[in-house]
């Protein structure tokens, strides 16, 4: 039974961006993560050991996101996807969306960002 574990609206302060002030001061990013995994065993046993802990995913994703100063959201999301796939063998596919609501763009907008999907090979 394939299912989805999701985390929405994870707020992280980090120093990503092309502009110098973005890498010095940083800003708030919002991350959404969706994990495709087999939930058949955990749906019967009710044991955390039989699933993927979203608490552990948040810790892994947050560390990967803040680990370096990336210029591009694509690279930051890729680092998160790689870290989660490496740490959680039960995860088959990960979709990472990174929102940059305060991007230094001369326009009025609600949100900008990227979505990246990676699967096990």
Q: Annotated active-site positions, please?
A: 100
Burial group, residue 103, by CB count within 10 angstroms (0-12, 13-18, 19+): middle
Closest CA to 79 of 58, 92, 59, 62: 62
Residue 33 CA, distance from chain mean position: 5
């Amino acid at each position: 039974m394939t299912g989805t574990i999701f985390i929405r609206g994870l707020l992280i302060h980090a120093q990503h961006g092309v502009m110098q002030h973005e890498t010095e001061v940083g800003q708030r990013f919002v991350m959404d993560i969706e994990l495709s995994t087999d939930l058949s065993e955990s749906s019967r046993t009710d044991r955390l050991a039989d699933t993927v802990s979203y608490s552990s995913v948040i810790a892994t994703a947050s560390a990967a996101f803040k680990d370096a100063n990336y210029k591009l959201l694509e690279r930051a999301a890729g680092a998160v996807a790689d870290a989660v796939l490496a740490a959680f063998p039960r995860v088959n596919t990960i979709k990472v969306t990174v929102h940059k609501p305060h991007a230094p763009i001369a326009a009025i907008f609600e949100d900008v960002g990227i979505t990246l999907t990676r699967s096990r090979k």
